[in-house]
A and B are shown apart, each in its own frame.
Chain A
Amino acid sequence: MLSLTCPCCGITAEETEFTPGGEAHLTRSGPGSSDSSYEAYMFQRKNPRGVHFERWRHAYGCGKWFIAARDTVTLEVFGTYPAQTTEPPAEIVTQIRARRPDWTPEPQGAA
């Protein structure tokens, strides 16, 4: 079972109290973008085996969105941070690197 700590209300709860919101840190391709980048933004999602950044909503609690960094294989949670963040914060990256030394953060905006 996945336990997440909501950074907005400080509650650590199990996953049934949350709603998953899919991949985090997407870069929006809106009007004026090419068809291929719009398609990538709309439909193409990472499905990694390992470190992943996801949006979650504390649906049964404070109702706020946040982002969780976790491992999709072991369900280890490296940390959670507010949704108003465009890339993984330095302390989260440090946390992940401490546990997964061969992991490197992807440059943001890469499809």
Chain B
Amino acid sequence: MSDTWASALPQAQFDGLIRIREAGLCGMITLRGDPAALAGPLRAQTGLDMPAQRRIVSAGALQLAWMSPDELLLCLPHAEAPTMVAALQTALAGQFATVANVSDARAVFDLSGPRVRDVLAKLCPVDFATLQPGDIRRSRAAQVAAAILSLEDDQFRIICFRSVAGYMFDLLAGAAAPGSDPALYP
């Protein structure tokens, strides 16, 4: 088995209205179960508290995002994911909960620039004026599901399924074409 890992679109980048960068290898762990059961093991293993509804908590290289009432997404360095999954699975043994390493099932794009909300607003049925830094919004980008993480004021991250990475990149690059700013947001 090959132990060489590659992200969905290595080095893919586009500069237009905004800066689009494929984020490279990202570790991602999906946790499902009763939040009360997940909270203890997560704090012990990562030091992170449970995020409030539709929020992200982060510490260092770790990010924990609220995905649904019984689902969390833990983002961490790609190489650390297998050990973290094993540790969480041990800690949650016997509980009605699942821990899955989904790192290589997803593609991640980093978007930055002052017009990032306008570009995303072309693709997603979301009011980006209501999205604060530290919020996560799951929605769609044109025809595919996407999780939109608002990291800082001018900085967003999009996570989608790896199988649609090419579509998502083309979509973002098209929406960020120079001269196509809808100027929806100040």
Binding site for B on A (CB under 8 A): 8-11, 13-14, 16-17, 60-64
Q: Are B67 and A62 in contact (CB under 8 A)?
A: yes
The CA-CA distance from A17 to B140 in the complex, in Å, is 7
Assess whether B138 is in contact with A10, with CB atoms less than 8 Å apart.
no
Known contacts A17-B140, A60-B145; is-contact A9 B53 (Cβ 8 Å)? yes
| A-B pairs with beta carbons under 8 Å apart, 23 shown | A8-B68, A8-B69, A9-B68, A9-B69, A10-B53, A11-B137, A13-B125, A13-B126, A13-B139, A14-B125, A16-B125, A17-B125, A17-B140, A60-B138, A60-B140, A61-B68, A61-B138, A61-B139, A62-B68, A62-B69, A62-B138, A63-B68, A64-B68
CB distance from B26 to the nearest CB of A (A): 21
**Are A11 and B54 in contact, with the CB atoms below 8 A?**
yes
A60: which B residues are within 8 A, CB to CB?
138-140, 145
Interface set, chain B 36-89, CB cutoff 8 A to A = 53-54, 67-69, 71
> Are the CB atoms of B140 and A9 closer together than 8 Å?
no
Which residues, 90 to 135 on B, are CB-close (under 8 Å) to A? 125-126
Other 16 A-B pairs with CB < 8 A, given A11-B54, A13-B126? A8-B69, A11-B137, A13-B125, A14-B125, A16-B125, A17-B139, A17-B140, A60-B139, A60-B140, A62-B67, A62-B68, A62-B69, A62-B71, A62-B138, A64-B68, A64-B69
Query: In whole Å, how far is B135's beta carbon from the nearest beta carbon of chain A?
Result: 11
CA distance A62 to B125 in the complex (A): 15
Q: Which of A8, A16, A62, A64 is most buried by chain B, counting CB atoms within 10 A of its CB?
A: A62
The answer to whether A16 and B140 touch (CB under 8 A), given A9-B69, A62-B67, A64-B68, is yes
Given the complex of chains A and B, what is the CA–CA distance between A15 and B115 in angstroms? 26
Which chain A residues border B138 with CB–CB below 8 Å?
9, 60-62
**Nearest residue in A to B67 (C-beta to C-beta)?**
A62
The residues of B that contact A16 with a CB separation of less than 8 Å are 125, 140
Give bound CA distance, A10 to B126, whole Å: 13
Q: How far apart sit A9 and B52, CA to CA, in the bound complex (Å)? A: 11
Q: List chain A residues, Cβ under 8 A from B140.
A: 16-17, 60
- A10 contacts B125, CB within 8 Å? no
Q: Determine the chain A residues whose CB is within 8 A of the CB of B125 once the complex forms.
A: 13-14, 16-17
